[in-house]
Amino acid sequence: MTLAYLGLGANLGDGRQTLKDAVVCLAQQHTITVLAKSSLYRTAPVDADGDDYFNCVVAIETALAALQLLTLCQTIEHHFGRERTYRNAPRTLDLDILLFGAEKIDAEHLIIPHPRLIERAFTLVPLIELDADIMIPGYGRADSYLPGVASQRIEQVASCQCPLLARARKATGSEISAPGELSKPACS
């Protein structure tokens, strides 16, 4: 079994609802187990146009190989009406593999860790929310990259009610910290 982290993003249609539905869809897959979900974040588009995005990260466990997981992610994106028009085009759902265990993969259609993971608040902040000490293979501690994304607007819009996360927060005795001002979490 491999512990993997998926990044979800949407900025077309009701992105907030789409992300919730996509997490339910992931949880229904018999080939993966969703272990935890970050809060939902509203984020400014990075290297992209269109409306603000909604983003979150989920931790999953799977016996799939990384390429099989990519195929599953793309099938789910398609299911949610994803169209590939141009790079970084507004999208109903983007489902990226951020981390796949300790693996480093550099294949034609799959690069892991996700090559832009450390450059973006919308991936780093929710990832660190799920595991404050998480390491990125080949890069080191994820939180060491937070200063580099501090100028990117990211706002926590919904707090995860997952018991696993609540336990993790209690254990660390701290709330999530993120670059920029976070709004007060509002449960949804």
Stretch of residues binding ligand A4P (CB under 6 A), selected from 21-29, 107-115, 126-134, 165-173: 107-115
**What's the rounded Cα separation, in Å, for the pair 121 and 118?**
8
Q: Phi and psi at residue 6, in whole multiples of 5°?
A: -110, 135
**Residue 126 interacting with ligand A4P (CB under 6 A):** no
Number of residues that bind ligand A4P (CB under 6 A): 23
Name the residue whose CB lies closest to ligand A4P: 9
Bridge partners, residue 138, by sequence? none
**Residue 67 interacting with ligand A4P (CB under 6 A):** no
**Residue 138 interacting with ligand A4P (CB under 6 A):** no
Q: Is 94 one of the catalytic residues?
A: yes
Which residues, numbered 26-55, are part of the site for ligand A4P (CB under 6 A)? 43-48, 53, 55
- Provide the CB-side half-sphere exposure for 154 (13 A, CA): 24
Q: Find which of Mg ion, ligand A4P, none residue 129 binds, CB within 5 to 8 Å per kind.
A: none
Q: At residue 85, what is the residue type?
A: T
**Residue 167 CB, nearest approach to ligand A4P (Å):** 28
- Of the candidates 171, 172, 162, the one whose C-alpha atom is nearest the C-alpha of residue 40 is 162
Q: Is 42 one of the catalytic residues?
A: no
- With CB under 6 A as the contact rule, the residue among 5, 80, 122, 145 that binds ligand A4P is 122
Q: Is 167 one of the catalytic residues?
A: no
The answer to whether 58 touches 34, Cβ cutoff 8 Å, is yes
**What's the rounded Cα separation, in Å, for the pair 64 and 1?**
8
**Residue 96 interacting with Mg ion (CB under 5 A):** yes
Helices 121-130 and 163-172: angle between axes, nearest 10 degrees:
80
Degrees, nearest 5: CA angle 147-66-17: 65
Would you tell me which residues interact with ligand A4P (CB under 6 A)? Answer: 9, 43-48, 53, 55, 70, 84, 87-88, 94, 96-97, 109-112, 114, 116, 122
Query: Which residues are identified as catalytic?
Result: 82, 91, 94, 96
